[in-house]
Amino acid sequence: MKNTRKSGTFLSVQGTSLLKITAALSLFMILVFSISGLLTSLKPQYRIMSSSVNQAAMNVNGELLYQLMGWENHHFLKAEHNWATAPKLTSLVFKLSSNINLDDPRSLLGRELPGFFQFDGKILVAGEGTNYTNMPIESSPPIDIMKAEREAALQNLEGLDKPSGDNPSPTPGQTTGDRKVVYVYFTHNRESYLPYLKGVTNPDLAYHSQINVTKIGDQLKTSLEDRGIGTFIDKTDVQGNLNKKGLKYPKSYQESGLLVQEAMTSNRDLQYFIDIHRDALRKDKTTVDINGKSYARLDFIIGGKNPNHEKNAKFATELHELLEKKYKGLSRGVMVKNYANSNSIYNQNLSENAILIEFGGVDNTFEELNRSADALADVFSEYYWQAEKVNQDVDQSTDKQ
């Protein structure tokens, strides 16, 4: 009789537990579907954007990520580790077993969130302070901004009419003469800077048809030609061309590629091709003080889908190293981008001397940008004339043979 009573009590308790589990599971499923429905029904401006998640991920370091995972699997927290040293066996095992890199929070988030791939990339050469939590960000402008239908009023325009800079113009010891050997263009030509857009504080709205990255080309051209290097600046309104053709923003490189190919055909002297952009990161990541003066930092971006991208990367790396010697901290490094559903070629398949450079971020001023243009021209001229000397030596050696 006693055994029967115990058995009945046990079954009753077991039934109650099963009922609770079923109810909890049902409540959880309802909550998941409710949240999913809410997120998908929100207007675009209220939805969680990939850029917001990326910004949050910047504050997650390897140690915190390790501890978060340890809350779910306490075996990870039992392992001894020293975060001040190189990765240990525990970190390696964790990465191999979970395919998550403790030093790169994107490895946890990127596979789960649509659109997060745009922050992906590989750091080939890291500049000062550069890591996988502060990779360059490229944001797409709203359609009405892209079509210049809702442009901001301008401000702080004094002194922007002519190129300026702190470095005195050198007297070129040698020159390319009438030959234009550098071609500068702007795929995202309307990328602008917040200090000049009245009332605009949102980085995603930092676009303008008049005051934008093309002004950097003016300074770069002047500075290169002061050093004897003939330069052609192509200020074609690529975004305007997209609008006329009814093409969307992702077709930008297709459109600018036509310009590069036409330039190469019409001018055989062109040897170097520089596509100037602006990063969407904020000022603390895109600005550096060098000898008491503020500079907009530079990022060299290489398209990994270009089958010969190693040659482009070599060119960019040599410029980065020259900048490190003369303008320590100005370059944020060389990054290779190669992810699905993106261009990741950036017209660099057209020449091994083609590169994309991010000039500063949305908060930088043209005073800072012009200094950086002068610095780039300085090291580029050193690179160019050294390469010319090597080519001349090779030609003379060949002639003697």
Question: Would you say residue 48 has pLDDT above 60?
Answer: no
User: Mean of the pLDDT values across residues 52-56?
Assistant: 48
Assigned token pair, 280? 């969407």
Cα gap 107→66, rounded to integer Å: 13
Question: Would you say residue 266 has pLDDT above 50?
Answer: yes
In this predicted model, which residue has the larger pLDDT, 185 or 42? 185
Percent of the chain clearing pLDDT 90 (strictly above)? 51
Segment among 64-68, 256-260, 295-299, 349-353 with least mean pLDDT: 64-68
For 376: left if phi > 0, alpha if psi spans -120 to 50, otherwise beta; the answer is alpha
pLDDT tens, residue by residue, 367-376: 999 999 999 9
In this predicted model, which residue has the larger pLDDT, 75 or 275? 275
Question: Would you say residue 250 has pLDDT above 70?
Answer: yes
In this predicted model, which residue has the larger pLDDT, 397 or 122? 122
51 three-class SS: helix
Contact yes or no for 237/189 (Cβ under 8 A): yes
Question: Would you say residue 231 has pLDDT above 90?
Answer: yes
User: Mean of the pLDDT values across residues 298-306?
Assistant: 95
Question: Would you say residue 338 has pLDDT above 90?
Answer: no
**What are the backbone angles phi and psi of residue 386, rounded to the nearest 5°?**
-70, -40
Q: How confident is the model at residue 118 (pLDDT cuts 50, 70, 90)?
A: very low
The C-alpha angle with vertex 158 and arms to 154 and 162, in degrees rounded to 5, equals 110
Q: How confident is the model at residue 150 (pLDDT cuts 50, 70, 90)?
A: confident
**Secondary structure (DSSP) of 268-333:** TT--EEEEEE---S-HHHHEEEETTEEEE-EEEEEETTSTTHHHHHHHHHHHHHHHHHHSTT-EEE
Q: Cα dist. 373→64, 219, 369, 378 in Å?
A: 39, 6, 6, 9
pTM of the model: 0.71
pLDDT at 115: 47
Cα gap 138→336, rounded to integer Å: 14
Q: How confident is the model at residue 196 (pLDDT cuts 50, 70, 90)?
A: very high
User: Mean of the pLDDT values across residues 388-398?
Assistant: 67
pLDDT at 49: 45
Characterize the bridge pairing of strands 354-359 and 298-303: antiparallel
Segment among 109-113, 119-123, 291-295, 382-386 with least mean pLDDT: 109-113
pLDDT at 361: 96
* Alpha-carbon torsion (83, 86, 89, 94), positive or negative: positive
pLDDT tens, residue by residue, 307-326: 999 999 999 999 999 999 99
Residue at 358: amino acid letter: E
Contact yes or no for 219/370 (Cβ under 8 A): yes
Question: Would you say residue 157 has pLDDT above 50?
Answer: yes
pLDDT at 50: 46
In this predicted model, which residue has the larger pLDDT, 262 or 401? 262
User: Mean of the pLDDT values across residues 274-289?
Assistant: 95
User: Mean of the pLDDT values across residues 328-343?
Assistant: 88
Question: Would you say residue 86 has pLDDT above 60?
Answer: no
Q: How confident is the model at residue 160 (pLDDT cuts 50, 70, 90)?
A: confident
What residues does 123 pair with on adjacent strands? 335
Cα gap 282→280, rounded to integer Å: 7
Assigned token pair, 205? 């709205």
